[in-house]
Amino acid sequence: MTTSTSYSLQENVVASARVKWLILKTAMEERLVYRGDFAFATLVRFLPIVTQIFLWNAIFAGNMDRVLNGYSYANMVAYYLLVMIARAFSSMPGLANGIALSVRDGSVRKYLIQPVDMLDYLFWHRIAHKLVYYAVAIGPFCLVFWLCRDYLPGWPEPKVTVAWICSLLMAFLIGFLIESLIGLISFWFLEVSSLIFVYMMMNYFLSGHMIPLEWISEWIPWVNYLPFKYLAYFPAAILLGRIPPDTLAVELTIQASWIVVLLAANRMAFHYGVRRYGAFGG
């Protein structure tokens, strides 16, 4: 009996892995069908980097020794470049809108009648998107970082590098879970575009994408307790040495805790959303 149960469990694990691989492979093939358009759109996203460098040069009036809120011009350039890497992990364009559209047009039913979990499918689909994006963007990223190498800090210690990589991977999860949660709200409100717009504005400001959080923490003291911080500011701050070594483990634990909270919220929203969706006949 125990051997039979163990064998059945092993079969389920293998079948689940095959489904995930199929989703990942198919999604990557879809992205590569329009690889020219995808590559062009990816390259265009690098233009704001140049704009930001010139903008901060104007703010600092070309004075390399000037310091504003603990940041010199070189610090700001390095910060923004590192934030762009974090945003490449945490941004989820089209995810919430895609879920809302699926609920609105009824195509969400395919997740209810087939043995495929909706959130699991969207997760692997988004991983495929990111893998293709990184394959296209790694060249431009390397070029930009090489051109701006004089502004960047030196190589960090191995443990700092590990913490940075962990923060990027968890930033991906937090970004995914926040956007999917907003999309799942469409079970109650079919039109969520206004909510997405509000979220994008808050994200741009409270994640440190626009300016470092040190610049606004005096006005908004609770900004360091929100999950937005871990989408852009936190990974960049790790490499810039702005997270004290003795608090690094605590910050990573808090980031992981946000993943658990958001995952639970997603599961609850999907569970009760499907019940409401079914009660009204789809």
pLDDT tens-digit readout, 145-204: 888 888 888 788 889 999 999 999 999 999 999 999 999 998 888 778 888 888 998 898
Which of the 8 DSSP states describes residue 157? P
pLDDT tens-digit readout, 111-152: 777 777 888 888 988 888 888 878 777 877 888 888 888 888
Domain residues for the domain of 97 are: 12-279
**CA angle, corner 126, sides to 168 and 254, nearest 5?**
35
**Model pLDDT, residue 279:** 47
Indicate whether 2 belongs to any domain. no
Indicate whether 6 belongs to any domain. no
Indicate whether 255 belongs to any domain. yes
Number of Cα atoms under 13 Å in the Cβ half of residue 258:
23
Domain count, the chain: 1
Highest mean pLDDT among 16-25, 79-88, 100-109: 79-88
Indicate whether 182 belongs to any domain. yes
**Model pLDDT, residue 268:** 94
Q: What is the 3-state secondary structure (H, E, C) of 22-69?
A: HHHHHHHHHHHHCHHHHHHHHHHCCHHHHHHHHHHHHHCCCCCCCEEC
Confidence of residue 43 (pLDDT cuts 50, 70, 90): low
Indicate whether 4 belongs to any domain. no
